[in-house]
């Protein structure tokens, strides 16, 4: 059996120095306590089909491989791709060189089975990547991501709170989400200027209540939050009139953050 160990300290990280690239939003995880907590939360079994997004220097890759027969990794940095391919045998780790925002997770799921996706996501792509992964919810068993704490708070936010917004509604429609743990800046090298948090997302199967027209659902949510301080009768003008809002027991004077996910589904379904 092959055994690998994660980069556990900042000193060890510097021995294996790779200059973090700002354009890729690279902040490498070096905190052994946080790494262990993430692996325990994922709790991979040997035959799970796990995909790691942004493996970097292998802080999660190594302990994942200790528990898995095989791991897939999606990495955009060509230098890191080469490093990973030198370090890990190809029969244990498949490195997919490219942008996770363009990667076809659906094709991999068709070939392999339902995916478990893990990653320390670059802050600069975390929101668009979450929206992209929403499309592949039917191919996924669960997702575990390290995110900027602010994004994590938006994901799990409840109606009538300042953090509740378009991201909250659209992702809560598709996933059940739990915030698992926080990580301070010193857990990374280089240290970011913000705190981070780990979130677990589990697809709702089936989605209940379901929007009959999911494109309309997304359009209404986007319109409502486009000017969140304005009333719905203004932000939804041309999409839903005041009479329709009243028929649905939604006050035309309400604002976007006052509606639950179920309320937006009712709006999209017209009742």
> What was the pLDDT predicted at 26?
77
Q: Flag whether 71 is in a domain.
A: yes
Helix (H), strand (E) at residue 118? strand 115-120
Q: Are residues 190 and 229 in the same domain?
A: no
Q: Flag whether 93 is in a domain.
A: yes
2 pLDDT above the threshold of 50: no
Task: Please tell me the distance from the alpha carbon of residue 137 to that of residue 207, in angstroms, as a whole number.
Answer: 10
Q: Are residues 161 and 233 in the same domain?
A: no
Confidence of residue 232 (pLDDT cuts 50, 70, 90): very high
The residue from 183, 203, 223 where one domain ends is: 203
Q: Are residues 193 and 173 in the same domain?
A: yes
Q: Are residues 195 and 225 in the same domain?
A: no
Domain count, the chain: 2
Q: Are residues 172 and 196 in the same domain?
A: yes
**Residue 187 corresponds to which tokens in the numbers above?**
């857990």
Confidence of residue 137 (pLDDT cuts 50, 70, 90): very high
33-88 per-position pLDDT tens digit: 999 999 999 999 999 999 999 999 999 999 999 999 999 999 999 999 999 999 99
Range of the domain at 52: 10-203
The residue from 160, 178, 203 where one domain ends is: 203
Question: Could you say which DSSP state residue 11 is in?
Answer: H
The residue from 152, 169, 203 where one domain ends is: 203
Q: Which of 13-27, 96-110, 127-141, 205-219 has the lowest mean pLDDT?
A: 13-27
- Which CATH number does the domain housing residue 243 bear? 1.10.8.100
Identify whether the C-beta of residue 207 lies closer than 8 Å to the C-beta of residue 236.
no
- Which CATH number does the domain housing residue 151 bear? 3.40.50.150
Q: Are residues 256 and 155 in the same domain?
A: no
Q: Flag whether 208 is in a domain.
A: no
Confidence of residue 1 (pLDDT cuts 50, 70, 90): very low
């Amino acid at each position: 059996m092959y055994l690998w160990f994660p980069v556990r300290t900042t000193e060890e990280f510097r021995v294996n120095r790779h200059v973090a690239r700002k354009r890729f939003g690279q902040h490498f995880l070096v905190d052994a306590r946080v790494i262990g907590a993430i692996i325990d939360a994922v709790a991979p079994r040997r035959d799970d089909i796990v995909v790691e997004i942004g493996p970097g220097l292998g802080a999660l890759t190594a302990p994942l491989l200790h528990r898995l027969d095989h791991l897939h990794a999606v990495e955009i940095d060509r230098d890191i791709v080469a490093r990973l391919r030198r370090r890990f045998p190809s029969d244990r780790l498949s490195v997919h060189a490219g942008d996770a925002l363009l990667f076809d997770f659906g094709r991999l799921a068709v070939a392999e089975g339902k995916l478990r996706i893990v990653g320390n996501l670059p802050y600069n792509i975390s929101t668009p990547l979450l929206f992209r992964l929403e499309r592949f919810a039917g191919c996924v068993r669960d997702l575990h991501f390290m995110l900027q704490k602010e994004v994590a708070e938006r994901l799990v936010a409840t109606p009538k709170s300042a953090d509740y917004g378009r991201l909250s509604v659209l992702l809560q429609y598709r996933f059940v989400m739990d915030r698992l743990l926080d990580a301070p800046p010193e857990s990374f090298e280089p240290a970011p200027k913000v705190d981070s948090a780990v979130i677990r997302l589990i697809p709702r199967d089936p989605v209940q209540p379901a929007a009959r027209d999911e494109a309309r659902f997304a359009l209404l949510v986007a319109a409502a939050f486009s000017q969140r301080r304005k009333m719905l009768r203004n932000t939804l003008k041309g999409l839903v009139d005041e009479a329709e809002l009243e028929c649905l027991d939604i006050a035309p004077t309400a604002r976007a953050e006052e509606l639950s996910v179920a309320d937006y589904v009712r709006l999209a379904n017209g009742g």
